[in-house]
Chains A and B, each alone.
Chain A
Amino acid sequence: MLEVRQLQVRYGGIRAVKGVDLDVGEGELVCLIGANGAGKSSTLKAICRLIASDSSRLSYLGSDIRKSLVHELPRRGLVMVPEGRGIFPQLTVHENLAMGAYARGGGDPAAQYERFPRLKERRHQVAGTLSGGEQQMLAIARALMSEPKLLLLDEPSMGLAPQMVAKIFEIVREIAAQGVTILLVEQNALLALELAHRGYVMESGEISLAGEAKRLLENPRVREAYLGEGAG
């Protein structure tokens, strides 16, 4: 569904992503883990065409998207929930959801309100006044309004209390079960690998490990570096 080859991102002189290869198949839940500054967000932003990048191949549903414009991709079902949620703080919850459906000319938020009753209660509230967890729900609900085929999630658990993290992961699992393909970027490597089919580990701009999520969970290097276990 998504094929990335030799992806490179530069910020001025800094090379943040140095030739990443990555695949996501239809119906898969793939996670991308790595330390702070590894280049995970840069990779996602490059895929969405939010930032300039170089690659030998960047294709979505079989077509080259290296020349696509940011706003064209959501219409084709490629949607990202950005790091830090990126809700529109001065729009109401309802208006935020409406913007999610903008790409397909409007849609009914009823299904999202059913999934997130909390959002329904607050639909006329300005989104900037929601709690962090509610904002993350809103960001996910808003992305789902566009009926994505491929959803890119950038650290949906960032800054949330453990209970809320568990809830967000549960929601991600549900969405995946409904047939949405997901590429999940996470700091919380344990939860992400338990949820995903496959995983990639990114280190200073490069993919250092890749494989089935179960295998990665057993990999001593992963356990040491990302699951907080000593080398012993």
Chain B
Amino acid sequence: MDTFLQQLINGLTAGSVYAVVALGYTMVYGIIQLINFAHGEVVMIGAMVAFTVINALAPSGLPPLAVVLIGTGCAVPVCMLVGYSMERLAYRPLRGAPRLAPLITAIGVSIILQHLALMIWSRNIMAFPQIIESRTYFIAGAAITTVQIAILGICVLLMGALALLVYRTPLGTAMRATAQNPQVAGLMGIDVNRVIAATFVIGAALGAVAGVLFGTYYGIAQYTMGSVLGLKAFSAAVLGGIGNIPGAMLGGVLLGLVEALGAGYIGDLTDLCQYGWLSGLIDACAGGGHFILFGSNYQDVFAFVVLILVLVIRPSGLLGERVGERA
């Protein structure tokens, strides 16, 4: 099996989901300079709602695709409502307050949502029912499943649709205008509050679908899944340049690739037995054994290594502009 190609496929799949989640962070940041830490929780709620519906409908004999679609169809409006409510109730009253206030509120909203999910769904892990027969195709020694193909396709579609919305419609232009100068946007007759609410709702809808895809990919969903996924997507947004929409897409895909390739090779690279002078010192190496310092279970670390490197080397991200400190 070709490790490189295989990890490329896996990385692209996970990365495209990160990209869709990262859009939610970057759009909100772009328009009100808020890092909405609760966005990961929205993604989690999307997965939980969808899994609940899918599990309930699995024995019904409906075609599997219909079951998944209905599940997603329920998750999206729920998440849109959650996104709208958090903006309306938690962030709007703090508009114009010092930046620390909404930031801490975001962390609070995140904790509240996570505990609400805990109350509703308990701490049990929900499994994706075995209804989809995933087929596996082989290209040049690497495997790709129908689920991976579907995830990639849906994510590309979502990103394309969002780009069209933002760059080709009056609402999208109003969103960009509001991001650049909310006061003047108001003077143009743009209802700034509505545009900001729309940004949250669109980001949440994307997050809901991403949550379903992510859950489907790994086959499980749990009330804690939003934290790590959210932090990774946030890292992706920072990597691309927070506030920058193409940046979030690029950052998500890159992060997925770094993570997958890193996980694919870290075991080999940190197998101390391959370093001649060391292998003599380690008993386990005798007779062709291995002594692996970091296994592929260190996968989650890469996102944060990337985040730290970006913050140190290029805080504005790959596509972001250098912005001075904003008060």
Residues of A within 8 A of B (CB): 48, 50, 69-75, 79-80, 82, 86-91, 95, 98-100, 102-104, 106, 142, 146
Question: Of the candidates B176, B188, B192, which one forms a contact with A103 in the assembled complex, judged by CB atoms under 8 Å apart?
Answer: B188
Q: Are A88 and B189 neighbours in the complex by a CB distance under 8 Å?
A: no
**A50 contacts which chain B residues (CB < 8 A)?**
183, 186-187
Q: Who on chain A is nearest to B189 by CB?
A: A103
Contact residues, B257-300 vs A (CB, 8 A)? none
A-B pairs, 5 with minimum CB distance? A103-B189, A74-B189, A86-B184, A70-B186, A88-B180
Q: Who on chain B is nearest to A139 by CB?
A: B184
**A73 contacts which chain B residues (CB < 8 A)?**
189
**A146 contacts which chain B residues (CB < 8 A)?**
188-189
- Determine chain B's interface SS by DSSP, over half rule: helix
Q: Are B183 and A99 neighbours in the complex by a CB distance under 8 Å?
A: no
**A80 contacts which chain B residues (CB < 8 A)?**
187
Q: Are B174 and A99 neighbours in the complex by a CB distance under 8 Å?
A: yes
Complex CA gap A100/B177 in Å reads: 11
Q: Who on chain A is nearest to B185 by CB?
A: A99
**B189 contacts which chain A residues (CB < 8 A)?**
71-75, 102-104, 146
Complex CA gap A89/B321 in Å reads: 13
For the complex with contacts A82-B187, A88-B180, A103-B188, 20 further pairs of A-B residues with Cβ separation under 8 Å are A50-B187, A71-B186, A71-B189, A71-B190, A71-B191, A72-B189, A74-B189, A82-B184, A86-B181, A86-B183, A88-B177, A90-B176, A95-B176, A98-B173, A99-B188, A99-B190, A102-B170, A102-B190, A104-B189, A146-B189
Q: Are B187 and A91 neighbours in the complex by a CB distance under 8 Å?
A: no
For residue B33, give the distance in angstroms from its CB to the closest CB of chain A. Answer: 15
Q: List 23 A-B contacts (CB under 8 A).
A: A70-B192, A71-B191, A72-B189, A82-B187, A86-B181, A86-B187, A88-B176, A88-B177, A88-B180, A88-B181, A88-B184, A90-B176, A91-B176, A91-B177, A91-B180, A95-B173, A95-B176, A98-B173, A99-B177, A99-B185, A102-B170, A103-B190, A104-B189
Complex CA gap A87/B189 in Å reads: 14
A-contact bits for B159-191, CB 8 A (1 contact / 0 none):
000000000001001101100110111111111
**A79 contacts which chain B residues (CB < 8 A)?**
187
Complex CA gap A211/B174 in Å reads: 41
Give the contact-size bracket for chain B.
10 to 19
Q: Are B188 and A100 neighbours in the complex by a CB distance under 8 Å?
A: yes
For residue A154, give the distance in angstroms from its CB to the closest CB of chain B. Answer: 11
**B174 contacts which chain A residues (CB < 8 A)?**
99, 102
For residue B228, give the distance in angstroms from its CB to the closest CB of chain A. Answer: 33
For residue B43, give the distance in angstroms from its CB to the closest CB of chain A. Answer: 29
Q: Are A90 and B180 neighbours in the complex by a CB distance under 8 Å?
A: yes
**A71 contacts which chain B residues (CB < 8 A)?**
186, 188-192
A-contact bits for B187-211, CB 8 A (1 contact / 0 none):
1111110000000000000000000
Q: Are A102 and B188 neighbours in the complex by a CB distance under 8 Å?
A: yes
Complex CA gap A88/B188 in Å reads: 11
**B192 contacts which chain A residues (CB < 8 A)?**
70-71
Q: Are B183 and A91 neighbours in the complex by a CB distance under 8 Å?
A: no
For residue B176, give the distance in angstroms from its CB to the closest CB of chain A. Answer: 6
Q: Who on chain A is nearest to B187 by CB?
A: A80
**A72 contacts which chain B residues (CB < 8 A)?**
189
**B188 contacts which chain A residues (CB < 8 A)?**
71, 74, 99-100, 102-103, 142, 146
**A142 contacts which chain B residues (CB < 8 A)?**
188
Complex CA gap A90/B179 in Å reads: 10
Complex CA gap A122/B242 in Å reads: 29
**B185 contacts which chain A residues (CB < 8 A)?**
88, 99
Q: Are A91 and B190 neighbours in the complex by a CB distance under 8 Å?
A: no
**A70 contacts which chain B residues (CB < 8 A)?**
186-187, 192
Q: Are A74 and B187 neighbours in the complex by a CB distance under 8 Å?
A: yes
Complex CA gap A11/B180 in Å reads: 24
**B173 contacts which chain A residues (CB < 8 A)?**
91, 95, 98-99
Complex CA gap A102/B185 in Å reads: 10
**B181 contacts which chain A residues (CB < 8 A)?**
86, 88
**A86 contacts which chain B residues (CB < 8 A)?**
181, 183-184, 187
For residue A225, give the distance in angstroms from its CB to the closest CB of chain B. Answer: 31
A-contact bits for B135-161, CB 8 A (1 contact / 0 none):
000000000000000000000000000
